[in-house]
Chain A
């Protein structure tokens, strides 16, 4: 049996798990990225502040001239440590420093403004991002100190790409693992389900396959196989019990019947009153025999896992045959037996048992529907099922009693006085159950409608 992979619990669980994993990896790597970025920036800011502080000290001690000298001393520091210095007058004209001009439009508002420096390095032009801070010196001049942060930026960029790859790959890995896991699980569960269906369909000797992996599935399959062994054993015992019961009840009945019949054949012939009461006795035996046969059939049907000698049976065809068989009898009782059959309506079952089911339903109608009435047989195919309905316009069964009608020896109202065993519907119910169908008794306003739904043959 193939399960729809996307509907399995395993698939849903692993999809959820994959989503959760993606989220967790994303949050972890993302916050690491953000934290690292912030740390790097804080360190840069500290360096800038320290530099600013030391240059402000120089200014405090040596005035503008001392500061200019110090800045000129550090003119090569861009190449060494990526440091940027600029001293500008209030009109942003450069006074000293290793930057050619004021990099901003007027005064930037941020505490650590950033700008880019274009450099010419061997063979190529490059843009370097610089983070800076500035001070207005007493006298109005502006002091700008910055540092090249291109290394930190590059590192952050790599970190970002690594994060994306990390999240992507772990999602992919989780999704693949989940898919594989749920596929395997669905396949093994599917095997179990299919085997169970086959067993239900009558292959009583079949068992669940063991993968030999000693995993939880093997444990489950082993346990289920144990239950199946037990059930098969019980069915066998039950069957043997029924066989002995049938034998032990029929054998004396057979002797009794044989003796009575021998008496009836005897010569000289018996006195007429004796003859008649022997014949009455024989009729009682026949009645007893019929009840016993029906009871045994119910018991066999109830104990069986699947109908014996099951084959494809067209219920429409079978119903047509029985309608034709019963039509003359119905006519002699003043009843109309009509049928509306849409075939083929094929079910997997035992033809004799299904014919018996139809016979019992039709005979119920013959028995209870008064002359002038009507019995309708209908068969049609539904999606995956075949529906048989036997409807009449007779007295029907009180709604309160319908549920009990399928129980053995239960009869109602007028029926209680009628001849018959009260087993007809029980046998119908047992045959329907054996064929894994559904039996329903409905009102027909007036009358009774018996609905039988059997699974359609695949």
Chain B
């Protein structure tokens, strides 16, 4: 996978590039907005990660330039601005996701993966299936091994979110954003408790658990542990 990182903080960028390479990405780094913009518009990257505040050309201007030229590469915006309207502005400008600094490296990886998979995935499906777990999206019915599961509306939404990203690590903040539309971090271990309830419903009484905890990061729904 080809990634472009546009970041003027050389020190932070160096470590990020190293981490991404270790995670299997081929990464190029642009240290200012102008060179970042011309690289980003070349369309040879699978994903662009750009800082919001850059000298000369800022992150949002880069996205606008890309979208203006029809470049659809997914863009993840990194920002030191964490105001509620900064995020909105970042997404409005055409960014696909927004991450406030400082962030956990694992969070960045999970969101990059989600953006890359989103590109590949067709959303028009009416039925999700992971092993013997089936989700009928039209009837809002879930069965595990043919047995119907009783789930609340929110649990259904949570399970759908996980099943659509089966095999991918999903972080707690991604779940808060995607399932509850909350863009801040409550202090309580809310998500863990909701997942454990869902796990009770989905995995209890089976010898093959599907919902797994990824230590320090989040959760993943897949076959083996």
Contacts and interface: CB of A to CB of B under 8 A. Distances in A.
B9 A255 contact: yes
B145 interface: no
Contacts of B187: 290, 363, 420
B102 interface: yes
B223 interface: no
B82 interface: yes
Given A251-B80, A309-B88, A350-B84, A366 B102 contact: no
A442 interface: no
Given A308-B84, A309-B84, A352 B183 contact: yes
A328 interface: yes
Given A258-B12, A356-B184, A420-B187, A247 B105 contact: no
Contacts of A321: 180
A259 interface: yes
B83 A325 contact: no
Given A255-B9, A258-B16, A329-B189, A296 B102 contact: no
Contacts of B22: 265
Contacts of B103: 254, 257
Contact of B19 (A247, A262, A285, A290): A262
B84 A352 contact: yes
A262 B102 CA distance: 14
Contacts of A297: 82-84
A324 interface: yes
A316 B194 CA distance: 22
Given A247-B53, A254-B102, A289-B102, A300 B83 contact: yes
A285 B189 CA distance: 18
Given A247-B53, A328-B197, A363 B186 contact: yes
B168 to A, nearest CB: 20
A261 interface: yes
A246 interface: yes
Contacts of A308: 83-85, 88
B185 interface: yes
Contacts of B102: 250, 253-254, 256-258, 285, 289
Contacts, number: 107
A151 interface: no
A332 interface: yes
B201 to A, nearest CB: 12
Contact of A352 (B16, B182, B190): B182
Interface string B37-70: 0000000000000000100000000000000000
A352 B84 CA distance: 7
A243 to B, nearest CB: 6
Contacts of B82: 246, 250, 293, 296-297
Contacts of A243: 53, 81
Interface string B70-111: 000000000011111100100000000000111111000000
B125 interface: no
A250 B83 CA distance: 13
Interface in A202-254: 243, 246-247, 250-251, 253-254
A326 interface: yes
A167 interface: no
Given A289-B102, A309-B88, A328-B194, A247 B15 contact: no
A366 B197 CA distance: 19
A73 B196 CA distance: 137
Given A257-B102, A258-B102, A250 B80 contact: yes
Contacts of B1: none
A64 interface: no
A255 B12 contact: yes
A328 B199 CA distance: 13
A296 B83 contact: yes
Contacts of B129: none
Given A332-B193, A363-B188, A246 B80 contact: yes
A428 interface: no
Contact of B188 (A255, A259, A324, A366): A366
A9 to B, nearest CB: 41
Contacts of A262: 15, 18-19, 105
Interface string A313-346: 0000000010011101100100000000000000
Given A297-B84, A420-B187, 18 more contacts: A246-B80, A250-B100, A251-B101, A255-B11, A255-B15, A257-B104, A259-B15, A300-B83, A308-B88, A309-B85, A325-B190, A328-B194, A332-B193, A351-B181, A352-B182, A353-B84, A355-B184, A359-B186
13 contacts: A247-B53, A251-B80, A255-B12, A257-B104, A262-B15, A293-B82, A297-B82, A309-B88, A325-B180, A325-B182, A329-B188, A350-B84, A355-B182
Interface of B: 9, 11-12, 15-16, 18-19, 22, 53, 80-85, 88, 100-105, 154, 180-190, 193-194, 197
- CB-CB nearest 9 A-B residue pairs: A308-B85, A254-B102, A250-B80, A257-B102, A254-B101, A247-B80, A328-B193, A352-B84, A258-B15
